[in-house]
Structure 1
Amino acid sequence: MTARLARAVRCAVVLLAAVACQSAPAQAADARHDVVTWAASADRLGEGVADRGYRLVVHTSAAGSELRVRLSNAFGDRPLTFDNVHAGVRRQGAELQKGSNRRLTFGGARTVTVPAGATVWSDPLPGKVPAGTDLAVSVHSPDAAGPATGHGMAMQTSYVTQGDHTGEEGGGNWTGTTGSWFYLDTVSVRPPSAATGAVVALGDSITDGWQSTTDLNRRWPDYLSRRLRTAGTTVEGVANEGISGNKVLADGAGQSALHRLDRDVLSQPGVRTVFLFEGVNDIKAHTGVTAQDMIAGYREIADRAHAAGRCVVGATVGPFKGWSEWDPAAEAVRQEVNQFIRTSGEFDAVADFDHALRSPYDPERILPFLDGGDHLHPNDKGMQAMADTVDLDRLDCRSQALSWPPS
């Protein structure tokens, strides 16, 4: 089956689904649903410590009510108990706004045990959650041990304590700090409109935000979220599923994009669009990976996302000449991969990050003004330039599905 024919078949499936939705009762069509407002990729993160508390600072994208959190023991080798979980609005440091810190429950209970390899959702928490707000999710486990699950490079300061201080709004007992998120991998809300959806950025250290300014939310998905907040589009939630060092094809720094797609991306609530921006780590590693290998990986991700009813934006791989692993052979693979992303028609839209970042004087290099200093990772200005190149209208999966194929 040709790629064009396969896309036509997928289109027919989407259109049939749309007709079925139109035939359903109006009440079902208008039903509100949960949408991810923050997320971070799960990975193994050292060893768990019993009787330790974490006050995890996260930044919301979509606004809504009925906040829920997902706790992850995906990489644990034994059950993990949380005996207290709270969520509140951060005031400064580890201190919360007065009256905002409230207990989360799980099936009506304050305590929950998460099996090894599993995740668990909290019950909805009544009340509104604004967009662009720092939440503090405080968790305590009396029995944490063995491999801990979390996200290593948060680019955000969170806080640590010994003992259970999750219910406290003051920061006096939260004297330790960490640059990682432990056990928490998703926060969702229920937006006012049933039309609201989310985009998930699947990527590596550039998406994770390396070389952006810590604690200021200047990763490119953060800039994208701020654009969406004022654009009036139906896509409002933004989930950052980047992992530093991550590859499309091979496990290593986190499970590969292919292996973690279901857990980190397709399982997120309200996801309308998958934003695929990975490949430089596969290319620069010089493991024999060819452009055709990369293209096969991209196609598999796009096909699985389409089969799950999501649209896919493909982003070109940025320049990295000057990085220690760059050479003409790797550059040739990058150019071939980018040609595929731009012209194959496999994606519902393309974001040309290569064009946004490259120097007009040496297109194999990042423009110095946008370079974080290592010739691979953009600085804050580069992150913003990437987000600014995204066509926000093409993130609306439903409107794109009804005008298939994309122009």
Structure 2
Amino acid sequence: MGVAAPTVLQPRAEPAVAPASAYHQVVTWGAAPQKMTNTFNTQTFRMIVKTSVAGNNVQIRLSNAFGTRAITFGSAYLGRQGSGATVASGSNRQLRFGGSRSVVVPPGSSVLSDPLSGTVAANTKLAVSLHVVGNAGQVTGHAVASQVSYVSSVGDYAARSDGAQFTPTPNWFFLDGVVVTTSSTIGTVVCLGDSITDGTRSSQNLNRRYPDYLATRLQQQHSTRYAGVANVGISSNRLTGDGTGVSGLARFDRDVLAQPGVDTLVFMQGINDIRLDVATRPEQLTAAYRQIVARAHAHGIKVIGGTLMPFYGDKFYTEERERLRQQVNQWIRSSNAFDAVVDFDKATRDPIFPKRLRPSYDSGDRIHPSDAGYQVMANAIDLSQFR
């Protein structure tokens, strides 16, 4: 028997006799949508993303959350990334929406594709190709991807596996989620935060953000509950006020509650509120933390709260802001407001000078971790909390 051409989706692995209740949808990759400044007209986007959990019947979610006009996606394909902008031979498959190859997404809306039959593996780099018809208007995407994706010249190249018409982009556009159907014992973990959650200054294309390391740990530790991980961090985002992206409080419903299968939230946010004087008293942040927890609990979601990490040497550092960070961290540790706490501050601070990041965990800008720092953050999370 000959060897079949490589495909993204392999034959379904679970027994056909299993009841429908044994399965549900979870997120295997996710990013928070943002308002972008780019302009596009009749072009193809090839977005590169990495799965965190295996599952069947893969679907993609397209967002026009910040659009000012309806967007027509003329075609959409999903395959395994080859090299650069290429798609692995034989793996590119057409996606449909309500049985149609095209779909119109109104402004402020999102759409989920029909499922593709078969199984997608964990740790798979997918190439999702989207052809946008006409002027896209105000574009929705994600600015700090830490992953090179691709945009074409004018035309529809979604079905093609070669990358000749594509040029690199540091952003993701339109795609904000990849969903799979898997065992009901597997859930979605959402990581909500700012640039530290987003993975700013982590190594390009290597998936070394702390949520990536967390996903790997969850896969490797069989004594814990396996989970898909959605990273909804936004660089420069604030919790209590709009800035880069709407505030964490304002985007909570869309970026956390709307995620399929979510049962756990890992949450660290507030350092930008402190740095930029959006919050000048601890009560401004702790009241917001209580809101996040209450809204999550109303939907049966467990919340793991993270302490705020050191930022000595950052251009916005002052001793007054440092005192506020310490007060907020003390509240996070002692208030019992969260279901569990991960002490990111303790894990990453310099033991000789605790106001700053440990030098080996510092990317060089005094606030964002290095790859090693992101790994330490993930290692600080007690995986027994996911059982």
Provide TM-score, normalisation by structure 2: 0.93
Any idea what SS the aligned residue of 1:329 has?
A: helix
Q: For 1:37, what is the secondary structure of its paired residue?
A: strand
CA shift at 1:288, angstroms?
Answer: 4.9
Superposed, which structure 2 residues align to 1:176-255 within 5 Å?
176-191=167-182, 193-232=183-222, 233-255=224-246
Mapped to 2, the partners of 1:125 and 1:234 lie a distance apart of 26
Aligned to 1:35: 26
**RMSD in angstroms over aligned alpha carbons?**
1.2
Contact 1:81/1:144 (CA < 8 Å) preserved in 2?
no
The aligned runs of 1:263-282 (5 Å cut-off) are: 263-282=254-273
> Once the two structures are superposed, what CA deviation does each residue of 1:28-82 show, in whole Å capped at 9, x if it has no partner?
6x43111000011101011441211110000110101100000000000111100
Could you give the per-residue CA deviations for residues 145-184 of structure 1, whole angstroms, max 9, x where no partner exists? 321000011000001112100001122222x110000000
2:149 maps to 1:158:
yes
Partner Cα distance (1:53, 1:43) in 2:
19
Residues 87 and 127, structure 2, Cα contact 8 Å, conserved in 1: yes
In structure 1, the gaps of 5 or more residues are 1-25, 397-407
Instruction: Choose the corresponding residue for 1:377, options 342, 345, 368.
Output: 368
Q: 1 CA distance for matches of 2:136 and 2:327?
A: 46
Does 1:171 find its partner at 2:142? no
CA distance in 2, matches of 1:91, 1:143: 28
Q: Which moved more, 1:143-152 or 1:361-370?
A: 143-152
Cα deviation code 1:185-235 (max 9, x no counterpart): 0001112x2211011000111111111101100001111111111112324
- What's the CA shift for 1:266? 1.0
User: Is the Cα–Cα contact under 8 Å of residues 68 and 125 in structure 1 kept in the other structure?
Assistant: yes
* Counterpart code for 1:146: G
Structure 1 distance, partners of 2:75, 2:29, is: 21
Partner of 1:58: 49
Amino acid at match of 1:188: V
Task: Give the superposition deviation at 1:287.
Answer: 3.7
Q: Distance in 2 between matches of 1:131 and 1:235?
A: 11
Q: 1:154 is matched by which residue type in structure 2? A: A
CA distance 1:235–1:260, change in 2 (3 Å): farther
Letter in structure 1 aligned against 2:61: R
C-alpha separation in 2, matches of 1:265 and 1:57? 22
Q: Which residue of 1 aligns with 2:316?
A: 325
Q: Which structure 2 residue ranges, 5 or more long, are not aligned?
A: 1-17
Contact 2:239 2:248 in 1 (8 A): yes
Is the CA contact 2:240–2:278 (under 8 Å) kept in the aligned structure 1?
A: no
Name whichever structure is richer in helix by fraction: 1
User: CA separation in 2, counterparts of 1:323 and 1:339?
Assistant: 22
2:138 matched to 1:147? Answer: yes
Structure 1 match to 2:379: 388
Q: Is the 8 A contact 2:241 2:278 kept in 1?
A: no
Mapped pair 1:69 → 2:53: no
CA distance in 2, matches of 1:314, 1:395: 14
Change beyond 3 A, Cα 1:209–1:288:
closer
CA contact 2:68–2:107 (8 Å) conserved in 1:
yes
Deviations 1:83-137 (A, max 9, x none): 1000000121111111110000000000100011000000001121110110010
Identical residues among aligned pairs (%): 48
Q: Which residue of 2 aligns with 1:309?
A: 300
- Deviation larger for 227-236 or 34-43: 227-236
CA contact (8 A) 1:40 1:239 kept: yes
Aligned residue for 2:342?
A: 351
Count residues in correspondence: 368
Alpha carbons 2:279, 2:285 under 8 Å: kept:
no
The list of structure 1 runs, each at least 4 consecutive aligned residues, that deviate by more than 4 angstroms after superposition, is none
